[in-house]
Structure 1
Amino acid sequence: MRRNLRVAAYAVCVRGGRLLLARSPAPDGTPEWVLPGGGIEHGEDPYDTVRREVTEETGYRIEVRALLGVHSRRAVGDPRFGRHRDHHALRLLYEGEVTGGELRYEVGGSTDFAAWHDLAAVPGLVRVPLVDIGLRLWRERPPHGRPADQPLPRQVNGG
């Protein structure tokens, strides 16, 4: 089985009771809302990644205010990543504050639309699970940086 590791950085930007989201097509083509962010390029610092990705996907410039946490997800044999693939997604979630730029849509990228959504309306949106994870980290600020439903890893020998 082929193994794949994808490390990415995402921003949770909340302003005036609204959350900034980008829209991306799901594998079946259905549009779904995602946190602005994306893959870390080789040699790139995650802090720089999240700032670059937010600008690419929304037009805004942000300041990173805090590292909210890290989320790890493994999908083995998932058709979205290939039935013969062991995909591990490691996502760093940051709190971002918009400091400049203007809202616009990404052209030729992984997203096609960006918008602010009332926090109360987010549960009714078609969205990826990472949106809820990011909001939970933003609200709860767990000291260990892990969502409440993600248990702490077991200690292994030598580690």
Structure 2
Amino acid sequence: MDISIDTAAVMADLNAIAICSSSPPPSLTRIVYSAADLEARAYVRTRCTQIGLTIRQDGIGNLFARWQGSAPGLPAVASGSHLDAIPDSGRYDGTVGVIGAIEAVRSLQRANFQPRRSIEVLIFAAEKPTRFGIGCLGSRAIAGALRPDQLRAL
């Protein structure tokens, strides 16, 4: 199997997400659930649907983009990161993990790989504590590390 990475596509995706910011370049600001964050999330959703991934969103805003495997009952393999960014952040914080996971799927698809286990690209919500004062909010919610009353209090 010949697996190759399309670095031009990766850089184009990273550059497209970098302009989703409420601060001027070269820094960026993408507070969770802000217009800039929603714009970046919409871009990633589009890129995922273009390669045939099925997207679902949980109640906290985590996105799951799934490439269905031939044995969907098996646990999925997952990779990803976050899109939100603290004020005046670097352009690659979080986005490399998201776009890297998407490119991994694209490269496997180009190689005509057919997964047995489903593969999911994860986009975690609220990794940064900028809006709610709690870091890794999305991943904590997935892991069950937050009680429902804590989530409702947000």
Alignment TM-score > 0.5, same fold: no
Q: TM-score, length-normalised on structure 2?
A: 0.27
Q: Which has the higher helix share?
A: 2
Q: Which has the higher strand share?
A: 1
Q: TM-score, length-normalised on structure 1?
A: 0.27
Higher relative contact order (CA 8 A, sep 6+): 1
